[in-house]
């Protein structure tokens, strides 16, 4: 069985909001709505740290990190359980998705979601340009919508847009049921947390905190399961830097960028940042 999940390396995240923006573009998310947003863990405002400046010879305590937040695609998803008409359901591959034809717009799922990951079309959604920029079904006024892990891309063997377009390679998408997948390996190897774990929702989105991971290994648009040769990066030898494999996977869609992007950061050094 496939059970898709997402690993977000908060040590890698640079807070650029590219995942939030590309999500809007890919999914034609209406103005005033976000399926995916980048939260600042720190001060009261976006991009502000908590703590104090280093003054009078004392050490400062300034601290800030970014937490990209979208639907967590929970295994025990309360939104799926509360939906009276089976409009929100869990797919065979673990993705929590909405059937917009069935949704009656009662918003019980929004009450159920502890992450506030869902948005409601309070009026007819507007996009710029009018027809939108992504190739997804339109959602009418009066339904709830949210992140789909870009299921329309996943079905074509492509990673979600936020994963592909993360310039810091901080987002890794894959099959949690496959022990050989990068997500499974990272979850095993690195210290991960899940949001509001105490609520028992069993989310499939994991956040790496502490030691930085090598990030998303492939530069291809394709999911790693679609790549021909995964052995190069899936079994790194003695903690060495992860080798680039984008070209060999046949995913040349990054074009010339795939060569520029060759060395990712050294894998397991400098983990204190």
Partner 1 sequence: MSRETATSRFVVPEFGSAGKLWVGFLAAVVLVGVAAWAYQLTTGLVVTGMRNVFSWGLYIMMFVLFVGLSAGGLIISSAPKFFHSHRYEGFARLGVLVSLACITVAGLLILPDIGRPERLYQFFTSPDFRSPMVWDFGIVILYGALNLWYLWLLTRRDLAARGSRLALGVEDTDAGRERDRTLMFWTAAVALPTAVALHSVTGWIFATQIGRGDWFSPLVAPVFIAKALVSGLGLLLVVSILVSRFTRFSVDREELTSLGKVLGIFLAFHVVYLLAAERLPHAWADHFGFWAITESFLIGESAYFWLWTVVGGAVPLVMLALPSFRKRVSVIFTASALAVFGTTFEGVRLVFTGYDAANIDAAPGISVGGEYAGVTTDIWASAGSYTPTLVEIAVTAGVIAIGALIVTLGLRYVPIQAEPESTAVATDGGETRREDR
The CA distances from residue 7 to 119, 219, 232, in Å, are: 23, 16, 20
Q: Of the ranges 36-44, 156-164, 185-193, 251-259, which one interacts with partner 1 (CB under 8 A)?
A: 36-44
Task: State which residue, 102 or 209, has the beta carbon closest to partner 1.
Answer: 102
- Total residues at the site for partner 1 (CB under 8 A)? 57
Least CB distance from residue 128 to partner 1, whole Å?
Answer: 9
Instruction: Kindly state the tokens that stand for 113.
Output: 């979601």
Task: State which residue, 141 or 231, has the beta carbon closest to partner 1.
Answer: 141
**In the chain, at which residue ranges do the beta strands (DSSP E only) sit?**
4-9, 37-41, 65-69, 88-90, 96-98, 119-120, 144-145, 171-175, 192-193, 205-208
Instruction: Kindly state the tokens that stand for 224.
Output: 């790693």
Least CB distance from residue 4 to partner 1, whole Å?
Answer: 22
Least CB distance from residue 256 to partner 1, whole Å?
Answer: 35
Chain positions 56 to 75 lying near partner 1, rule: CB under 8 A, are: 67, 69
Q: Quote the CA–CA distance of 188 and 166 in Å, as a whole number.
A: 22
Q: Of the ranges 6-14, 32-40, 212-220, 226-234, which one interacts with partner 1 (CB under 8 A)?
A: 32-40
Task: State which residue, 108 or 268, has the beta carbon closest to partner 1.
Answer: 108
Q: Is residue 87 a contact point for partner 1 (CB under 8 A)?
A: yes
Chain positions 97 to 156 lying near partner 1, rule: CB under 8 A, are: 102-108, 110-116, 118-124, 126, 140-144
Least CB distance from residue 1 to partner 1, whole Å?
Answer: 21
Cβ neighbours of residue 113 under 8 Å, at least 6 residues apart?
Answer: 71, 78, 79
Q: Quote the CA–CA distance of 160 and 223 in Å, as a whole number.
A: 9
Least CB distance from residue 102 to partner 1, whole Å?
Answer: 5
Task: State which residue, 49 or 236, has the beta carbon closest to partner 1.
Answer: 49
Following DSSP, what letter does each residue of 223-246 receive, concatenated? -GGG-S--HHHHS-STTPPPPP-T
Task: State which residue, 79 or 227, has the beta carbon closest to partner 1.
Answer: 79
Q: What is the largest CA-CA distance in the chain?
A: 63
H-type alpha helices, the chain = 18-27, 78-82, 108-112, 151-154, 161-164, 182-189, 231-234, 257-260
User: Which residues of this protein are in contact with partner 1, per CB under 8 A?
Assistant: 30-34, 37, 39-46, 48, 67, 69, 78, 81-87, 102-108, 110-116, 118-124, 126, 140-144, 195-196, 199-201
């Amino acid at each position: 069985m496939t059970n898709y999940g997402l690993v977000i390396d908060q040590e890698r995240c640079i807070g650029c909001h590219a995942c939030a923006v590309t999500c809007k573009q890919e999914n034609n998310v209406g103005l005033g709505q976000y399926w995916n947003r980048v939260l600042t863990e720190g001060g009261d405002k976006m991009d502000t740290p908590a703590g104090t400046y280093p003054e009078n010879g004392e050490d400062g305590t300034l601290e800030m990190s970014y937490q990209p937040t979208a639907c967590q695609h929970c295994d025990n998803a309360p939104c799926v359980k509360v939906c009276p008409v089976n409009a929100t359901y869990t797919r065979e591959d673990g993705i929590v998705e909405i059937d917009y034809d069935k949704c009656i717009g009662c918003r019980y799922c929004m009450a159920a979601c502890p992450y506030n990951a869902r948005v409601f079309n309070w009026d007819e959604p507007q996009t710029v340009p009018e027809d939108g920029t992504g190739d997804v079904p339109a959602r009418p006024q009066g339904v709830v919508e949210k992140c789909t892990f870009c299921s329309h891309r996943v079905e074509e063997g492509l990673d979600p847009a936020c994963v592909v377009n993360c310039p810091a390679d901080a987002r890794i998408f894959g099959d949690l049921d496959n022990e050989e997948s990068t997500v499974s390996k990272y979850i095993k190897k690195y210290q991960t947390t899940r949001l509001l774990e105490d609520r028992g929702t069993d989310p499939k989105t994991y956040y790496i905190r502490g030691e930085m991971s090598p990030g998303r290994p492939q530069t291809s648009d394709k999911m790693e399961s679609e790549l021909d040769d995964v052995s190069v990066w899936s079994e790194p030898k003695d903690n060495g830097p992860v080798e680039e494999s984008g070209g060999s996977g046949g995913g040349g869609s990054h074009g010339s960028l795939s060569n520029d992007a060759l060395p990712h950061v050294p894998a397991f050094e400098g983990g204190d940042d």
